[in-house]
A and B are shown apart, each in its own frame.
Chain A
Amino acid sequence: MIEIKDLHKSYKMGSNSLHVLKGINFKVEEGELVAIMGSSGSGKSTLLNILGMLDGADSGEYILDGVPIKNLSETKAAQYRNKFLGFIFQSFNLINYKSAAENVALPLYYQKVPRKERQEKALKYLERVGLKPWAEHLPSEMSGGQKQRVAIARAMAAEPKVLLADEPTGALDSKTSYEVMDLIQKINDDGNTILVVTHEEDIAHMCKRIVHLKDGVIVEDKKIEQVRAEQYV
């Protein structure tokens, strides 16, 4: 599903440049649930941004679902993001003046799905994250866990190939975190490919594979025995 070969990325900071990613190689198969771990500054967010086409790599190859991602125009990148990727952010990033259902329906708007169908789909995915009764509520009326579940529903709504989660539990307490992880695991059980960036050990162990990043290189890449979040909920 995802194939990365010798990926390099550096940022210019004034006169000196900061080499963040120093040759990353890895592969993600369909249906995997991968945790990308690392301390701050290890390059995990940069990697995720490149995977999410929010940023471009300096060199190296990135193939997503057989499509080489290189030198994309903004418009093309937007198209691919919409088609291939679903994002889940640490700070939820819901549009605060739109109701839960409208937020979930938004990626479908950019897929030019008709309004009625959008609403139906939005409700379907809200039901899946257990928030159907909250469809008409604004994000400000919801708890952090609920907001993140809305965000997950939104990421799912576009039916992407890969879900990218950047510290999805970073702003949540541990109980809510496990609820969210439980949801992510269930979505993965349905066959969705998910990448989770995290620095929390317990969250990482709820995935099926852990990739350790340190100073811009992968230091460890191992399959693990998944810990089900269900038991903590």
Chain B
Amino acid sequence: MFDLERWQEIFDTIRKNKLRTFLTGLSVASGIFILVILLGFGQGMRNGIENEFKQDASTSVWVWPGVTSKEYKGLNPGRRIQLVNDNFDMANAMFKSDIEYGSPRIFVRGVNVNYGKEALVYGVQGVGADFQFIENAGMIEGRFINYSDEASTAKVAIIGNKIKKDVFEKVDSPIGEFINISGIPFKVIGVFKEMEDREEERIYIPITTAQKAFNGGNRLNNMSFTLPPVENFDQAVAQAVNFKNGMRTYLQQAHIVAPEDTGAIEVWSAMEEAKRYYGLTNNIKIFFWFVGVCTIIAGVVGVSNIMMIVVKERTREIGIRKALGAKPWSIVGMILHEAIFVTAISGFGGLIFSMALLELVGPHVEVDYIMNPSVNFNVAFSTVIVLILAGTLAGFVPAWRAAKVKVIESLRDE
């Protein structure tokens, strides 16, 4: 391999057989190119789908009550379950180490909301300070509800960006403005942004205020939590399932619900949902791999085909070389050396070109469910190596056969 003389011999051959070299190289380079692009888009799809799930914190778990459907411990079915503050506090205490953030929520109903003379038809929800993190609400102005707002039942409100645009277009900033909720003035202290408009049509007030001012007592409509992030996805799913089951069991016991009566206490985890999509993207990935591997195989077949033709074309030359004293191994070495060299150069050429394309174009791809297509360099690199090895192997057989051919036969006039 480090025989300078042979390198010179090979460069000679390449220089004088430009078209042949070019065509071999092209087929290898295009094979690699297509594979990398395919893998890149497979990854892009994965990224895109992951992004769709970023709207709510991906580890969030939502709990809401329903109606019992089974008779249990002397209680009739058809009973409506009502969550209360105690449930939330108890859950927090019980699963303390499993919970990252938690917030109860109450939907404030039967209230009129006004800004000056204007009536606002937006939903009002009482939530805790942590709710910001559960909803992944981005604050674009002011701040979210904090713990001291909760403790002091402050009359403050956080509005969605859409409300700001619809209602507060006349003022510079809605911060410091007052809105009336059933006659009680609430000071706007923050504006949040969400992925979807629908979620921006909400007014959040502290849960304590909502319960006190609007006759909520200690009732809750639902509870939501996020779980601390863990390293890998499977762990996260296991953690979510575990938490979900624990939460359901606790609430079923607290509200005297049959363990198998899942409709009475609903627990939903984003993680499990995401798992289905991850499964889907995995399948997509497998599909792209499959197509990619087929491309590689086609590339290998192409390379071996070319190698066969090259060897066939060089049969006479090989005969001459042998008559002049070339040993069989030197013939095999020469052909393989050239093949490896050409495959490697063009393979890495295709790799660099396709990766550059992904780097340049990737970040600008804006199609639903495709985001920043990219490819793992190691994967791409190994594919090139595989192609080179396969090409070598494919070239070896005809080269070996050519080296074994009797000189008289290869020199025979056609």
Contacts and interface: CB of A to CB of B under 8 A. Distances in A.
B18 to A, nearest CB: 10
A75 B320 contact: no
Contacts of B13: 97
A195 B247 CA distance: 101
Interface residues of B, number: 27
A55 B411 CA distance: 13
B399 to A, nearest CB: 14
Contacts of A98: 12, 16
Contact of A93 (B12, B17, B330, B411): B411
Contacts of B404: 74
Nearest to A45: B408
Interface stretch (A29-37, A108-116, A222-230): A108-116
Interface stretch (A14-22, A58-66, A77-85, A173-181): A77-85
A49 B408 CA distance: 7
Nearest to A171: B413
A81 to B, nearest CB: 5
B17 to A, nearest CB: 6
B406 A87 contact: no
A75 B326 CA distance: 8
Nearest to A166: B411
A54 B324 contact: no
A25 interface: no
A55 B317 contact: no
B124 to A, nearest CB: 85
A158 B316 CA distance: 20
A182 interface: no
Nearest to A138: B16
Interface residues of A, number: 31
B90 to A, nearest CB: 86
Given A97-B17, A109-B9, A115-B5, A54 B325 contact: no
Contact of A54 (B8, B16, B408): B408
A107 B324 contact: yes
A52 interface: yes
A115 B16 CA distance: 18
B407 interface: yes
A91 B413 contact: yes
Contacts of A91: 411, 413
Contact of A109 (B5, B328, B408): B5
B328 A74 contact: yes
Q: Which 7 A-B pairs have the closest CB atoms?
A: A82-B325, A97-B16, A107-B324, A110-B325, A78-B327, A54-B407, A75-B327
28 contacts: A54-B408, A55-B408, A74-B327, A81-B322, A81-B323, A82-B324, A82-B325, A83-B325, A87-B323, A90-B413, A93-B316, A93-B319, A93-B323, A95-B320, A98-B12, A106-B320, A106-B324, A107-B325, A109-B5, A109-B9, A110-B321, A110-B326, A110-B327, A111-B325, A112-B5, A114-B5, A115-B5, A158-B325
Interface of A: 49, 52, 54-55, 74-75, 78-79, 81-83, 87, 89-91, 93-95, 97-98, 102, 106-107, 109-112, 114-115, 154, 158
